[in-house]
A = this chain, B = another copy of it.
Amino acid sequence: MTYCLGVITRYGIVMAADSLTNAGVDYISNYQKLFNFSDPGDRVIVLCTAGNLSMSQGILALLRKDLKAQAEANLHTLPSMFEVARYIGQKTRQVLDENRTWLQQDKIEFQSSFLLGGQIKGEEPCLFLIYSQGNCLQATKETPFLQIGEAKYGKPILDRTLNYDIPLEDAAKCALLSIDSTMKSNISVGPPINMVMYEADSLLIRHQLRLPVGDPYLVKVRKYWEGALRKAFDHMPPLDWHDPQPNNFVPSPAFPDPTEAPVGSDIS
């Protein structure tokens, strides 16, 4: 599996991805899933990819082919991020259409989706999710993040802490913790973690990091975070237990017949 996420705040964009790929549990390998297609000074374009690796590679190959051939429409000529998103969606449709029948008949998952983050000179920074069907969705101020792949484990920390106004460095810490939480809870997501932080209007990526297996910073952060959570328990308001008398519990003979009363002994 894969886990990628993008965060947009008023100060810029953070994008991050794990690097583990698996076909079943007995074929696991590392593939980069975060790609920088920027043209510094004119535009920043960062892509993350999840889903069938062969499809994703095929789509990326088409994007590069257009760049190399200086096709009229390519990642460096299209005038807006929305058009870039639609263009990637078209390439996605093209590659999936070529392969769908063959993969489908063998029940192989062929979906492939992308996160696209960046900024084109003269526009605001923006963040898109390009679905495997080729349509796209833009992140908004209300929900300033998008995820693809194994998204559930890492969502609570985003839901609890992210908003459009937080400092970019905090958004990056949050993204890192979101990926680290996912890696800890699911072996199909794993390092190296690749992350970029893009400061709005700089039209250049100045901050990037790559954290391989056993990276001392990652070890330190994990230890720190677990300590911080445990400490937070200590100061959490004490639980407001009801303290029933033993005879408040319905004894066995009184368990109601389900045809007579609601199911179960009420514990409230």
Chain A residues in contact with chain B, CB under 8 A? 31-32, 34-40, 57, 60-61, 64-65, 67-68, 75-76, 152-157, 159-161, 169-170, 172-174, 176, 181-182, 184-186, 192, 194, 196-197, 204-210, 217, 220-221, 224-226, 228-230, 232-233, 235-244, 246, 249-253, 255-258, 262-268
Contact = CB atoms under 8 A, between A and B. Distances in A.
Given A39-B252, A255-B67, A232 B239 contact: no
Contact of A60 (B75, B192, B224, B264): B264
A257 B61 CA distance: 7
Q: Which 10 A-B pairs have the closest CB atoms?
A: A152-B152, A156-B181, A228-B232, A210-B268, A35-B264, A61-B258, A207-B241, A155-B185, A64-B255, A217-B240
Given A32-B267, A206-B244, 5 more contacts: A176-B239, A194-B267, A208-B268, A209-B239, A220-B237
Given A209-B239, A225-B160, A233 B174 contact: yes
B159 A156 contact: no
The A interface is mostly helix, strand or loop, or mixed, namely mixed
A44 to B, nearest CB: 10
A253 B68 contact: yes
Contacts of A36: 249-250, 264-265, 267
A206 B239 CA distance: 13
Contacts of A263: 31-32, 35, 57, 60-61
A226 B170 CA distance: 14
20 contacts: A40-B246, A64-B255, A64-B257, A76-B252, A153-B155, A153-B156, A156-B184, A160-B225, A161-B226, A173-B236, A173-B239, A194-B267, A207-B242, A208-B268, A221-B237, A224-B236, A225-B232, A225-B236, A228-B235, A232-B232
A217 B242 CA distance: 13
A206 B152 CA distance: 34
Given A64-B256, A76-B252, A266-B32, A185 B159 contact: yes
A220 B243 CA distance: 21
Contacts of A257: 64-65, 68
